[in-house]
Amino acid sequence: RTANSLVGQRYLVTAGPTYESLDPVRFIGNHSSGKMGIAIANEVAKRGGKVELVLGPSSIEVKHPNITVHHVNSAVDMYEAATSLYDDCQVGIMAAAVSDYRPKDVSDQKIKKADDSITLELTKNPDIAESLGAKKRSDQKLIGFAMETENLLKNAKKKLTKKNFDLIVLNSLKTEGAGFKHDTNVVTFIGQNKTREFELKQKTEIAKDLVDEIISL
């Protein structure tokens, strides 16, 4: 067993978007592809770790014998899967782009076109990362992601504390080639007392840096 090996370790990874149903044919979603989280799952698996991957709707195929994929649609489904799996994991990595709100009522039938304007009432979704953070044991680690458009460092640090993360990965939205759908990203790792900035690189390379960082925590 080398220093890099994750044999005997179990990681929980959330990835992809969530779809919040409005009626049988429509949903509220977001542009997450699931690429970053899947790259992390593959990296953990390559090093011999087991992965419970809770994956929202994503077109990317995942197939590694060490990865068990739990397919979910909504934030509530993702919450239920992730909270039941975390107890048996040493590390949780929250890479999913979870919808903060869902439609308050889901229509059984397709919503008909009628009035010039209609109003949707939304209700708050559970915060998966925050609830895992609240029940995290001393032998567990929890890693979060943040995508901020203003006061990047300050907001990311606030989130680190509020959600009881050991590390937060700050995504840049401003840089060309970074973020949603791309194969590349620009990230900063923010820990309790140190910050590391990285250049634009492949998400598969970021996954290696992240797993190395988690091992060093």
Binding-site ranges for ligand C5P (CB under 6 A): 14, 75, 94, 96, 98, 100, 125, 127-129, 144-146, 159
135 has binding-site annotation: no
Give whichever of 96 and 210 is closer to ligand C5P, judged by the CB atom.
96
189 has binding-site annotation: no
Q: Least distance in Å: CB of 149 to ligand C5P?
A: 11
- Cα angle value 201/16/121 (rounded, 5°): 130
Q: Least distance in Å: CB of 13 to ligand C5P?
A: 10
Catalytic-residue membership of 4:
no
110 has binding-site annotation: yes
Give whichever of 149 and 216 is closer to ligand C5P, judged by the CB atom.
149
155 CB-contact burial (10 Å; exposed 0-12 / middle 13-18 / buried 19+): middle
User: What is 108-151 written as a DSSP string?
Assistant: SSPPPP-SS-----EEEPP-HHHHHHHH--TT-EEEEEEE-SSS
Question: Hey, CA dihedral for 130, 131, 135, 140, is it positive or negative?
Answer: negative
Are 75 and 125 in contact by the 8 Å Cβ rule? The answer is: yes
User: How far is CA 154 from each of CA 51, 123, 160, rounded to the nearest angstrom?
Assistant: 31, 27, 10
Q: Least distance in Å: CB of 126 to ligand C5P?
A: 6
154 has binding-site annotation: no
Give whichever of 48 and 103 is closer to ligand C5P, judged by the CB atom.
103
Binding residues for CTP, as ranges, are: 100, 110, 145, 159, 163
Residues taking part in catalysis? 30
Binding residues, as ranges, are: 100, 110, 145, 159, 163
